[in-house]
Amino acid sequence: MKQLTTKAIILSRTDYGEADRIVTLLTPEAGKLRLIARGVRKSKSKLAGGIELFSVSDITYMHGKGDLGTLISARLDKHYGKIIQDITRVQLGYDLIKLLNKITEDNPDSEYFHLLDQSFSALNDAALPVDLVRLWFEAQLIKFGGHEPDLFSDTTGQKLEQGKIYTFSFEDMAFAVHPTGSFGADQIKFLRLVFQGHQPNALMQVQGAAEFAGQVKPLLESLRRIQLQH
C-alpha cells in the first residue's frame, strides 16, 4: 500500500495488546485518522517520541482495509512543553482536545487542525489567561459550526447602539435592549474581536481584556452547549 505523509495532532491514545497503541489524530488534509502504532510502548520504540500530547508531528502512515491504518513513522515538529508545567493549562488542553474530538466528523476541515495548533500555542504562553484561551477556542468552534451570533443588530433589526444595555436572546441569536442587561458596547465590541478570529495574544492587547473575557464567558459557554450540544 502507498505510504502517505501529513502533519498531525494527537487526540487520543489507547493501549492495545502488549506493546501497541491505537491513536486518533487530527490532520489538515486527511481529517481524523485512527492508526495503530505497533510496538510503541516498548522502551526502544522510535515511534514513542513522535506521538506526544500537545504537539504537532510529521507522520507517515498507511491506510488499512478497514478504518484502522498503520503508523509507520512519527517525528515531532512542534512540542508545546510549557503547557505541562501548569496543571490548569494541562487540564484545559485536555478539555479542548476532548471537545474538538467529540464535535468533529471523520473528515473535518483543516481549520480545526489549525485551531487546535493555535490553541496549544496560546496555552504555551504563561502570560495569556486560560479563561481567555478557552473563550477564544469556543467562539471559533461556534463560528465554524455556522452559529455565530448577530453582533451588529438587535432582535428588532436595529443597529446596536453605544449607550444602550442589552441582554442576549438565544432564540433570536441576537441582543435585545433590556434595562437590567449584562452587555454594553464594550462587551459587544470585545465579542466582535473574538469572533473575527483575532488570536488570544492580540485580544490581550485590548484594555480590560481579562475583565471583558470574564463578563462574556457565561454567554459563550451557553452558546457552545446549545448550538454544538457539547
Q: What is the pLDDT of residue 104?
A: 87
What are the φ and ψ backbone dihedral angles of 61, each rounded to 5 degrees? -150, 170
Tell me the three state secondary structure of residue 139: helix
Q: Looking at domain 4-80, which CATH architecture does it have?
A: Beta Barrel (2.40)
Q: Domains of the chain: which residue ranges?
A: 4-80, 82-228
Q: What is the pLDDT of residue 122?
A: 97
C-alpha cell at 220: 459563550
Topology at the third CATH level for domain 82-228: de novo design (two linked rop proteins) (1.20.1440)
CB 51 within 8 A of CB 23: yes
From first to last of its 230 residues, the chain has per-residue pLDDT tens of 789 999 999 999 999 989 999 999 999 999 999 999 999 999 888 898 899 999 999 999 999 888 899 999 999 999 999 999 999 999 999 999 999 999 887 678 999 999 999 999 999 999 999 999 999 999 999 999 999 999 999 999 999 999 999 999 999 999 999 999 999 999 999 999 999 989 999 999 999 999 999 999 999 999 999 988 87
Two domains, one topology: 4-80 and 82-228: no
The position carrying cell 441582543 is 175
Q: What is the pLDDT of residue 65?
A: 82
The position carrying cell 432564540 is 171
According to DSSP H, which parts of 30-86 are helical? Answer: none
Q: What is the pLDDT of residue 43?
A: 82
Using CA atoms, how far apart are residues 94 and 98, in angstroms rounded to an integer?
6
Of the candidates 103, 224, 220, 227, the one whose C-alpha atom is nearest the C-alpha of residue 171 is 227
